[in-house]
Amino acid sequence: MRASSYLRYMLVWFALVNGAFAGLGLILVVLCHGRGASSGEIGTAQALGSAGTVLGALACEPLTAGLTGARLLTTSSWLLVAGAAAMAVPGPAPLTGLAYAGALFLTPAVNVVFQHHLVRAVPDTLTGRISSTMMTAARSLNWFILVGAGAWPTGAARCSRS
């Protein structure tokens, strides 16, 4: 990890982005509930978010063939920002779910590019250690971001009902 600036960068990126996705998942539920969505509508919004990831996985081959790893990473990061911003726009739960799906869409392609880099650049004897370190980093901020996400939209949802 210390020898590769790419791996160090991805370590931080995975921690931040996975935390953001965990927070967005909670915010999706709270925003939809605060906007008066039923349990079924909230479930539909969550399903649409998951569908965004599945569609992204199905599109991995053309995406990774047509875009560089750096372009995918940059575009994925901006889609996360755009999706989060779109979720904040008041609307029906399915529309919020579509915004969440957009935020998640490129995640599988970024994971494929990262795993491809690991296979090419990291000795087999270190691959497991690097993968474990990345997974630990990816989940390291989830608790912190979930606490913030759980506190933030509750007040926003109360304000929107007044």
Check residue 157 and give its pLDDT. Answer: 46
- Which ranges constitute the DSSP H helices of 105-141? 107-121, 124-140
- 31-47 mean pLDDT: 95
Domain range annotation of the chain = 11-161
Q: What are phi and psi of 31, to 5 degrees?
A: -65, -45
pLDDT tens digits for range 97-145 = 999 999 999 999 998 998 888 888 888 888 888 888 888 877 777 777 7
CA–CA dist 127, 158 (Å, integer):
47
Check residue 155 and give its pLDDT. Answer: 46
pLDDT tens digits for range 5-30 = 888 888 888 888 888 888 889 889 98
pLDDT tens digits for range 43-88 = 999 999 999 999 999 999 999 999 998 999 999 999 999 999 999 9
Integer angstrom CA distances of residue 124 from 3, 132, 134, 138: 16, 14, 16, 21
Give 95's Cβ-side CA count (13 Å radius). Answer: 10
pTM for the full model? 0.81
